[in-house]
Amino acid sequence: MARVFEAFSRGFRDLFQFQVLWIVIWPMLAASLLWLILGVTFWSTFSGWIASGLTAIGIQTWLEGVEPRWIAYGIQAVAHLILFVPLVFVTALVITALFAMSALIRLVAQRDYPQLKRESGGGLVGSLLNALIALGIFVAIWAITLPLWLVGAGVIIPFAATAYLNQRLFRYDALSEHASRAEMQAIFSAHRPSLWGLGLLTGLVQFIPFLNLFAPVLAALAFIHFGLARLAELRNPAIR
């Protein structure tokens, strides 16, 4: 776990560099604008989905009998917000992974890992495929485990799902420019528990007010540091 915390601390340090500030801001702004436009355009559709979900777990029927009515409307508005916020964060994570990683990798590699040769084991197609798989399994985790909310076990679902999404989404892109495919697979296999640990640690930040605004880029930076450090060790075991 020492390596996990080291990567996290280095990523947190890099957040406050001038070159990183814009990268911190624009994915979150883009994700918020995207879902604001979609929310306004498809408001009735989204509201219908939420009502169906509330009906499925027995809350909608209760809401219809709540007086005064503004309390019921307030609860429904909170339900919309609860759906909107995670969608924004997940979208910001994907935007960061697909469009901001190259700039972050360049910044970190030039300063901290200048000796690493670029083997380009990944690419845009691989990154897109990895993102689609990560999102698909992330959604499946939520869908399959929804019944657990009814028995109180649902509290662990957001943390487990976020840990999976972070480690699956960023581990590939963090190494895609410098590692060969064989090196990437070797690191993923040898450091699977640490990758999950880093995914959980960076995921926890998403549940802390204010800090969650930095969560996508912090996760990216932490995984870049972890991945490139493990790649340097793989190529030169003497530095461990």
Q: How far apart are alpha carbons 92 and 209 in whole angstroms?
A: 16
Asked whether the beta carbons of 30 and 89 are under 8 A apart, the reply is no
Q: How confident is the model at residue 2, as a pLDDT?
A: 86
In one letter, which amino acid is 223? Answer: F
Q: How confident is the model at residue 58, as a pLDDT?
A: 55
Q: How far apart are alpha carbons 179 and 118 in whole angstroms?
A: 7
Q: How confident is the model at residue 7, as a pLDDT?
A: 93
Q: How confident is the model at residue 144, as a pLDDT?
A: 79
What are all long-range contacts of 204-212, with beta carbons under 8 Å and residues at least 24 apart?
204/159, 206/89, 206/162, 207/158, 207/159, 212/89
166-225 tens-digit pLDDT: 999 999 999 999 999 999 999 999 999 999 999 999 989 888 888 888 888 999 999 999
Q: How confident is the model at residue 170, as a pLDDT?
A: 93
Q: How far apart are alpha carbons 217 and 13 in whole angstroms?
A: 12
Q: How confident is the model at residue 149, as a pLDDT?
A: 63
Distances, alpha carbon 9 to alpha carbons 6, 31, 83, 226, in Å: 5, 26, 30, 11
The two counts, helices (H) then strands (E), for the chain are 11, 0
Q: Which two tokens stand for residue 1?
A: 């776990």
> Cα angle vertex 142, ends 30, 136, to 5°?
60
Handedness of CA 137, 198, 218, 149 (dihedral sign): positive
Torsion, Cα 18 20 25 30, to 10 degrees, reads 140
pLDDT along the chain (240 residues), means of 10: 91 86 84 83 68 58 57 58 74 86 90 90 87 88 70 72 91 93 94 95 87 88 95 81
Q: How far apart are alpha carbons 117 and 231 in whole angstroms?
A: 10
Asked whether the beta carbons of 223 and 171 are under 8 A apart, the reply is yes
Asked whether the beta carbons of 28 and 216 are under 8 A apart, the reply is yes
